Amino acid sequence: MADDSTKPQATAPGACESFEFRSIGHVRTPYTEKFGTPRQSNLVNDTTSTFELREDLNPEIFDGLESYSHVWLIFVFDRNGTQEFKKVKVHPPRLGGAAVGVFATRSPHRPNPIGLSLARLLRRDGRRLFLAGLDLLDGTAILDIKPHLPSREHPAEAHEGWSANLAEKTLQVSWLESAQADLHHAFGVDAETAKRAITQILEQDPRPVVYRGHADNPNPYTSRYGFVHAGWNVVFDLPESNQARVLALTAWPQTQPETQPKAE
């Protein structure tokens, strides 16, 4: 069980140190591209993701974790390409144009592209965890898993900052009858669960800001959108600015290059 490659290595003493970490495993989620992936954890609860522990780690490392309802995942934003960190300020969709420093956000574009997500622990099976509410892209590398301690990690006096009361406008979601038929064809007995998950994703308006347009200036690029969910391309439009309508689910070959709109 000795694992001698993960100790921190300080390459420069003093002001700036460098540390090397190895993934402890990866998650499998229904989300294969940023478009259509929930922006935060627990926005979409009706998906089950799995975490699989690295083969050389003893699964007893999870013993006792089953007793907690929620776990923290510390992960690497490694599935959005390797963009260099350049801008210290970002424009969160909910602020509609205003900029804040990246350390005042949960943006992936940070000096160290490390993420923190809370997930509901459904069950554990040996070296595998079943999780709900994850907002991670399929294949994301995980660095650490810790129990959530509600007694310590929710101070009564805690208050939210600029993001409070700035819930994004949610969309009303409808399905064409033919899209529901596609759904049953695609997901079989899991159709209703998949429908809830896709509906929750659409309620949050998954479109990047650049594709949303404004009231006076609708999206100049396209009126139809698609995002890949669990291997299926979910095609939708917006018949009204507060409504999303699922038009079809079409097979999405894993090997096909992405042609959907990309987030920023």
Residue ranges in 100-129 that form contacts with a copy of itself under rule CB under 8 A: 100-106, 110-114, 116, 118, 120
Q: Toward a copy of itself, which CB reaches closer, 123 or 224?
A: 123
Q: Within positions 22 to 41, which residues make up the interface with a copy of itself, using CB under 8 A?
A: 22-24, 40-41
CA 160 – CA 151 distance, rounded (Å): 18
Distance of alpha carbon 29 from alpha carbon 132, whole angstroms: 10
Minimum CB distance to a copy of itself, residue 210 (Å): 22
Q: How far is the CB of 26 from a copy of itself (least distance, A)?
A: 8
**Binding residue for a copy of itself (CB under 8 A) from 28, 46, 50, 57?**
57
Q: Should residue 163 be labelled a site residue for a copy of itself when binding is judged by CB under 8 A?
A: yes
Decide whether 72 or 211 has the Cβ nearer to a copy of itself: 72
Q: Is residue 170 within the footprint of a copy of itself (CB under 8 A)?
A: no
Residue 18 Cβ vs a copy of itself, minimum distance, rounded to whole Å = 5
Contacting residue, 96, 123, 153, 251, with a copy of itself by CB under 8 A = 153
Residues 202-231 that bind a copy of itself (CB under 8 A): none
The reply on whether position 87 binds a copy of itself by CB under 8 A is yes
Q: Which of 95, 113, 5, 117 is nearest to 51 (CA)?
A: 117
Which residue pairs, CB below 8 angstroms and at least 24 apart, start in 170-173?
A: 170/203, 170/204, 170/205, 171/202, 171/203, 171/204, 171/205, 171/238, 171/242, 171/243, 171/244, 172/203, 172/242, 172/243, 172/244, 173/199, 173/202, 173/203, 173/243, 173/244, 173/245, 173/246
The sign one gets for the Cα dihedral 83, 251, 122, 65 is negative
Q: Which one-letter DSSP state was computed for residue 10?
A: -
Q: Give 33's DSSP letter.
A: S
The tokens for 244 are 């999303």
Of 168, 167, 166, 172, nearest in space to 241 by CA: 172
Question: Which CB sits closer to a copy of itself, 76 or 209?
Answer: 76
Q: Decide: is 154 part of the binding site for a copy of itself (CB under 8 A).
A: yes
Closest CB to a copy of itself among 167 and 189? 167
Which of 129, 87, 108 shows the shortest CA–CA distance to 40? 108
Residue 3 binding a copy of itself, by CB under 8 A: yes
Residue 50 pairs in a beta bridge with: 28, 130
Q: How far apart are CA 264 and CA 261, in angstroms?
A: 9
Q: Which C-beta is closer to a copy of itself: that of 42 or that of 50?
A: 42
Binding of a copy of itself at residue 191 (CB under 8 A)? no
Interface residue with a copy of itself, options 96, 126, 150, 239 (CB under 8 A): 150
Least distance to a copy of itself from the beta carbon of 7, Å? 5
